């Protein structure tokens, strides 16, 4: 049993036979079975109009399914008052809906203050989260939402959702308007924070790179609201279930795999005889192969030092990258 009294094995979300047919006859989602584990990040991807947003909105009952059941924490959501239900679920959408007459920092503080956190505590947490999403608390905090760019407003939306510390967070294209460079950093920081807080996240995107970077698992939807495949990023890239998934994950799969395969100690060469000059900069053992190759290119060296905390544990060469990649694919 966990702290909530639910067995650890109960998934956070369970969709069974869920379907949605809109009043005009459009079938947006077809017979969907899907589970999301506690603390897991599940990313929904797929072409436009394949039912991703509809699925997300059925989880917090902004849309009611026409068939099937949805359970959160083992409870059928149809038995829960929708307002009550949404109070426990964070929701971030592309058009964030910030309060226009409140300063940015006050927007982020709203929920914590509502639930009784002291203003000073809520403010310092809000400032921390603003910094986390790449905004300057002193510069952007005192502004009003209309004084920010679209991408900056989106980041405030993400900070506001995280401030409420919901056990479950639903996000629909949360980084859609954020420029590519900031976006990658934000994805990484968000992922780290969600892992640290143990937040369960279901996120919609149509950016496959974002999906493989952020998801513990990725669900690929196909036309007609059908689930084509669900699996780890590496499953999808290495073993697409059908041609539609293969097309969707694209021709760059080899390169994408690098971004989802972690370094392993056994792929490192010993440090013996390597001088500091040959080594250049070092990367952390929890980096991906993509990070490792990027560092080699940046340093213009054919090997890179690898650290575990403060200790150097070996060097990685392109041959080691190759071994790690082959091992991951063979698993």
Ligand X SMILES: Nc1ncnc2c1ncn2[C@@H]1O[C@H](COP(=O)(O)OP(=O)(O)OP(=O)(O)O)[C@@H](O)[C@H]1O
Q: Which residues bind ligand X (CB under 6 A)?
A: 22, 24, 26, 28, 46, 48-54, 206
Name the minimum Å distance from CB 221 to ligand X: 6
Question: Which CB atom, from 25 or from 276, has the smaller least distance to ligand X?
Answer: 25
Q: What are 305's two structure tokens?
A: 């030092």
Question: Which CB atom, from 52 or from 125, has the smaller least distance to ligand X?
Answer: 52
Name the minimum Å distance from CB 299 to ligand X: 39
Question: Which CB atom, from 225 or from 233, has the smaller least distance to ligand X?
Answer: 225
Question: Which CB atom, from 170 or from 324, has the smaller least distance to ligand X?
Answer: 170
Q: What are 213's two structure tokens?
A: 């970077």
Closest CA to 172 of 194, 205, 149, 201: 205
Name the minimum Å distance from CB 55 to ligand X: 7
Burial class (CB in 10 A: 0-12, 13-18, 19+), 184: middle
Do 100 and 107 touch, CB atoms closer than 8 A?
Answer: no
Do 2 and 8 touch, CB atoms closer than 8 A?
Answer: yes
Question: Which CB atom, from 23 or from 330, has the smaller least distance to ligand X?
Answer: 23
Name the minimum Å distance from CB 151 to ligand X: 18
What is the distance between the alpha carbons of residues 212 and 257, in angstroms, rounded to a whole number?
Answer: 9
Name the minimum Å distance from CB 64 to ligand X: 12
Closest CA to 193 of 308, 116, 90, 61: 90
């Amino acid at each position: 049993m966990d702290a909530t009294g639910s067995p650890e094995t109960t998934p956070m979300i369970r969709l069974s036979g869920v379907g949605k047919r809109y009043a005009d006859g459009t079938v947006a989602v077809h017979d969907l079975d899907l589970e999301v584990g506690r603390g897991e990040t599940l990313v929904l991807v797929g072409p436009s109009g394949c039912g991703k947003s509809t699925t997300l909105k059925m989880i917090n009952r902004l849309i009611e399914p026409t068939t099937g059941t949805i359970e959160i924490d083992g409870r059928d959501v149809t038995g829960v008052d929708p307002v009550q239900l949404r109070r426990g679920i964070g929701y971030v959408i592309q058009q964030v809906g910030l309060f226009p007459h409140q300063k940015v920092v006050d927007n982020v503080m709203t929920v914590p203050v509502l639930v009784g956190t002291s203003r000073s505590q809520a403010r310092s947490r809000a400032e921390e989260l603003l910094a986390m999403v790449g905004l300057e608390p002193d510069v952007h905090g005192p502004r009003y939402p209309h004084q920010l760019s679209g991408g900056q407003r989106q980041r405030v939306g993400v900070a506001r959702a995280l401030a409420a510390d919901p056990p479950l967070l639903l996000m629909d294209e949360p980084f859609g308007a954020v420029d590519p460079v900031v976006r990658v950093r934000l994805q990484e920081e968000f992922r780290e924070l969600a892992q640290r807080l143990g937040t369960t996240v279901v996120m919609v995107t149509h950016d496959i790179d974002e999906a493989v970077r952020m998801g513990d698992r990725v669900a690929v939807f196909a036309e007609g609201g059908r689930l084509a495949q669900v699996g780890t990023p590496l499953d999808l890239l290495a073993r697409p279930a059908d041609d539609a998934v293969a097309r969707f994950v694209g021709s760059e799969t080899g390169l994408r795999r690098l971004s989802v395969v972690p370094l392993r100690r056994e792929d490192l060469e010993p440090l013996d005889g390597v001088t500091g000059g040959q080594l250049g900069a070092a990367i952390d053992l929890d980096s991906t192969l993509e990070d490792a190759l990027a560092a080699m290119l940046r340093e213009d060296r054919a090997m890179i030092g690898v650290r575990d905390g403060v200790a150097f544990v070996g060097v990685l060469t392109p041959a080691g990258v190759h071994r790690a990649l082959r091992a991951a694919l063979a698993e």
